[in-house]
Structure 1
Amino acid sequence: MDSSSSSSAVGLGSVDPQLQHFIEMEMQKQCFQQLVQQMTELCWKCMDKPGPKLDSRAEACFVNCVERFIDTSQFILNRLEQTQKSKLVFSESLSD
């Protein structure tokens, strides 16, 4: 779960714990659905013509596309984390 969803759940401190858990689960579902939508839009180019089965070329294209998408997403998240950490260290050094 990302920090924005956990911080919004913390803001719901007076809410019933079951409702809070339900909200967190729904937010996770929404994030997953958005991820699937992004991959579908990006990787749709792999499908030349619809058929009952994927040919080996289309299957390989889909696998490569999804792997690139995951690798890119992970790289971006790592970069944002590094940037956030460096900003935190920089702001701490300014306050000293």
Structure 2
Amino acid sequence: MDRFGSDLSAGGSGCKVDASTIMKQVKVQIVAANAQELLQRMTDKCFKKCIGKPGSSLDNSEQKCIVMCMDRYMDAWNTVSQTYNSRLQRERGRM
């Protein structure tokens, strides 16, 4: 039994899975979910901003708008993420 009082099996093979392996898997799933949410939000915002009349194809101005919008969105996201991570590190250093 692990420290949580149960045996966890991987794929029914009878192998014990430790808590650190489960935590790593959960972290990977969280990162994937966050990336998917970022892409969905960016797509929604840039579509609303750039596409006036949806059709079977994008004209040149819509294509340029989408590219610029997504670039700006990613730049903003990266800036916010870096700032947030820096702040977290500073706060952890104070403890």
* TM-score bucket of the superposed structures, by smaller chain: 0.5 to 0.7
Aligned partner of 1:10 in structure 2 is none
- More helix per residue: 1
Question: What's the offset of the Cα at 1:24?
Answer: 5.1
Show the counterpart of 2:87. 83
1:85 Cα offset (Å): 2.4
Count of equivalent residues: 78
Deviates more, 1:66-75 or 1:43-52: 43-52
Structure 1, residues 16-49: CA drift from partner, whole Å, max 9, x if none? x5x7776555434322221121112211220011
Instruction: Kindly indicate whether residue 65 of structure 2 is the aligned counterpart of residue 72 of structure 1.
Output: no
- Separation in structure 1 between the aligned mates of residue 36 and residue 79 of structure 2, nearest angstrom: 20
Mapped partners of 2:91, 2:30: distance in 1: 28
**TM-score between both structures, scaled by the size of structure 1:** 0.63
CA distance in 2, matches of 1:79, 1:26: 23
Q: CA 1:23–1:88 in 2, change beyond 3 Å: closer, same or farther?
A: closer
Structure scoring higher RCO (CA < 8 A, sep ≥ 6) equals: 1
Give the SS at the match of 1:48: coil
Give the C-alpha shift of residue 60 in structure 1.
0.5
